[in-house]
Amino acid sequence: MAESAGGMQAVKALQEARERIEEQLSRRIVGQRDVIEQLLIALLCRGHSLLVGVPGLAKTLLISSFAEALELDFNRVQFTPDLMPGDITGTEIIEDDAGGSRHFRFFKGPVFANIVLADEINRTPPKTQSALLQAMQEHTVTVSGTTHKLDEPFFVLATQNPIEQEGTYPLPEAQLDRFMFMLKVDYPSFEEEVEIVRSTTGGSSASIRPVLSKRDVIELQDLVRRTPVSDHLIEQAVRLATLSRPGDRSAPDFVRQQVAWGAGPRAGQYLVLGAKCRAVLGGRPTPDLADLKAVALPVLRHRVLPSFTAEADGITSDQIVTQLLEYIG
């Protein structure tokens, strides 16, 4: 009973922290409440997020403000065609010491931060994109045979512009799969845009007070992992992932016709983790099917690839995932 009471107390504390974070971010960011919630879910699940949206939607401001509200170290890397892997991970430099001998000294790159913004990640070649792979998966960086551990928590947020595809390098599927969520940042409503223009053309800028420390974030990440989940919900998550695969015997006809490649096992893991975190953020001790469905679109939209025929007919991965959610009931 004491352990159960302590767990509910931690759930309540997280729910209150979420409200304070949203309050602080609302001082600078107008709207985007769903995106903010999904960013928080990804962070507390130890995942990473890819934000897709046209220029001018305050993606960079949202991420930097998010880092301020959590009192986390933040670095921004502008991805360009001439960016090299060492510009991200760091490099070794030869130095002379007082005795006249030489030795290598490692200078950390911008990846050594709690939140790393990879801005316009698709503007750099695959060799440089892949420099993030080890960091995202293992939270380590290897340079010249030496492995360096990254500070916890570690969270990569990448942005991608859906237009201006000339001179870009689409992310390979293996790297896309490293991202827990793909979040679409949409245009604001008319009322929200009026408020954005009003607040950004004045003479003052709102400050943000930190809500959580590094230790708080790590403890909340552990809380999400400890949150119980039913076997039935785990089976539903795996079922949703397997139904997205056109080669699976249980796949519905529309998946066989419209999907070239379905979601892998990592999708099921992120579906369950995301559902657990959403439940805890809502003040509930365990997730249900509604939580699973709520995180399904950002988890699956970049893992379910439409076939050539589907693309020719204008069918998107979002439409396929939505149809899948209706299919499982």
Q: Which helix (H) or strand (E) holds 137?
A: helix 131-138
CB 324 within 8 A of CB 47: no
* Structural domain spans, the chain: 228-329
C-alpha of 260 from chain center: 24
* Among the ranges given (133-142, 201-210, 318-327), the one the predictor scored with the smallest mean pLDDT: 201-210
Residue 312 has phi, psi (to 5 degrees) of -65, -30
Distance CA 167, CA 161 (A): 12
DSSP string, 188-205: PPHHHHHHHHHHHSSS--
First-to-last C-alpha distance (Å) of the chain: 35
Tell me the C-alpha distance between 280 and 294, whole Å: 14
Residue 102, both tokens: 């030489």
Across the range 221-249, mean pLDDT stands at 91
Q: Tokens 């589907």 — which residue?
A: 310
Whether the per-residue pLDDT at 30 is higher than 90: the answer is no
Asked if residues 71 and 212 have their Cβ atoms less than 8 Å apart, the reply is yes
- Do the Cβ atoms of 259 and 248 come closer than 8 Å? no
Question: pLDDT at position 99, please?
Answer: 64
Amino acid at 8: M
Cα(25)–Cα(114) distance, integer angstroms: 18
Report CA 77 to chain centroid distance, whole Å: 16
Domain spanning 228-329, CATH class: mainly alpha
- Confidence class for position 98, pLDDT limits 50, 70, 90: low
Residue 243 pLDDT > 90, yes or no?
yes
Query: Residue written as tokens 């679109």?
Result: 297
Query: Given the structure tokens 């695969």, which residue do they identify?
Result: 245
Determine how many CB atoms are found less than 10 A away from the CB of residue 193. Answer: 13
Q: Look at residue 53 and tell me whether its pLDDT is greater than 80.
A: no
Q: Which residues contact 79 (CB under 8 A, 6 or more apart)?
A: 118, 119, 120, 121, 122, 123, 124, 128, 129
Q: Tell me the pairing of strands 140-143 and 146-149.
A: antiparallel
Would you list the DSSP string of 35-61? HHHHHHHHHHTT--EEEE--TTS-HHH
* Residues 211, 214, 217: CA angle, nearest 5 degrees: 75
Tokens of 309: 């025929």
pLDDT band at 166 (very low <50, low <70, confident <90, very high): low
Task: Give the pTM.
Answer: 0.85
3-class DSSP state of 228? coil
- pLDDT for 202 equals 65
Tens-place pLDDT, residues 176-189: 888 999 988 877 77
| Residue 292 clears pLDDT 70, i.e. is over it | yes
